[in-house]
Amino acid sequence: MSVADGVQAKLYPNPSNGNFMLAYDLKKYNAVEVHVYDVTGKSVFKTHVDNLENMKQINTSNLQSGIYFIQLVHDKNLLWIDKLIISK
C-alpha cells in the first residue's frame, strides 16, 4: 500500500510475535521515522530507517497481543500506513 510519493513498504510476518521485518522503498526520501501506535492512537514505539538499506528488523516483543498501526512519517507527513497484528 502506498500513501504518498510512491513510498512502499511491507510487514512480515503478519500476524507476528512482536518481531517483524519491514521491507521498504523510500523513493526520494533519505530517512523516515517508523511509528507504532496501538488501537487507541497511543504511540508505543518509534525508530528510524534510511534508504541505504531496504529492510529492517523491528523488535516490539515487549508489546501485548493486539492490533497496531505502523506508519512511515517524514517531516510530519504520513507516507505509508499498515496494520500489524501481534499474537503471542
Q: Output phi, psi for 32, to 5 deg.
A: -140, 160
| pLDDT tens digits, 53-66 | 999 999 999 999 99
pLDDT higher than threshold 60 for residue 84: yes
Mean pLDDT of 6-11: 91
Mean pLDDT of 81-87: 97
Domain annotation covers residue 12: yes
Domain annotation covers residue 28: yes
**Could you tell me the CATH number of the domain that includes residue 51?**
2.60.40.3080
Domain of 78, in residue numbers: 8-86
**How many domains does the structure of the chain reveal?**
1
Domain annotation covers residue 2: no
What the block records as the C-alpha cell of 66 is 493486539
Domain annotation covers residue 1: no
Mean pLDDT of 22-36: 94
Domain annotation covers residue 29: yes
Q: How confident is the model at residue 17 (pLDDT cuts 50, 70, 90)?
A: very high
Domain annotation covers residue 3: no
Domain annotation covers residue 80: yes
pLDDT higher than threshold 90 for residue 39: yes
Q: Where are the beta strands (DSSP E) in the chain?
A: 8-12, 19-25, 31-38, 43-50, 55-59, 66-74, 77-86
pTM as predicted: 0.91
